[in-house]
Amino acid sequence: MSYMIWLIISVVSALVAAFIAELRNRRMWLWALLTFLFSPLVILILLALPKVRPRKPCPDCKEMILAEANICRYCGYRFPQPQRAGSGGANTAAG
Ligand SMILES: [Zn+2]
């Protein structure tokens, strides 16, 4: 009987872990599985870990760099700046 309660607690905490992992850009199935197999305390480990920042591959050297980066830290590739719309003034590019 008591193992049924433990099973319910494990499933619920696994769902909570999956939800938190999703919010923090981590693999939700992995954290759900860890929480289910080991302990709801795994959620505390998940909360203690720093938030994963989204990354993107550099089109030039294919290294993974921060998604918000404008310059690749490995090869110095410059990403095109997003155009500012409606700030007035027509820039006529010469050269
Ligand atoms: Zn690069």
Tens-digit pLDDT profile for residues 40-90: 899 999 999 887 888 899 999 999 999 999 999 999 999 987 776 655 555
Which amino acid is located at 43 in the chain? Answer: I
Give the Å distance between the CA of 64 and the centre of ligand 1: 8
Give the Å distance between the CA of 85 and the centre of ligand 1: 28
Cα–Cα separations (whole angstroms), residue 41 to 32, 33, 48, 73: 12, 13, 11, 37
Q: Give domain limits for the chain.
A: 2-50, 53-81
Task: Give 1's pLDDT tier (boundaries 50, 70, 90).
Answer: low
Give the Å distance between the CA of 41 and the centre of ligand 1: 39
Alpha helices in the chain (DSSP H): 2-23, 28-37, 42-48
Give the Å distance between the CA of 54 and the centre of ligand 1: 16
Cα–Cα separations (whole angstroms), residue 47 to 20, 22, 34, 54, 78: 8, 12, 14, 18, 34
Instruction: With beta carbons less than 8 A apart as the criterion, state whether 13 and 24 touch.
Output: no
Give the Å distance between the CA of 30 and the centre of ligand 1: 30
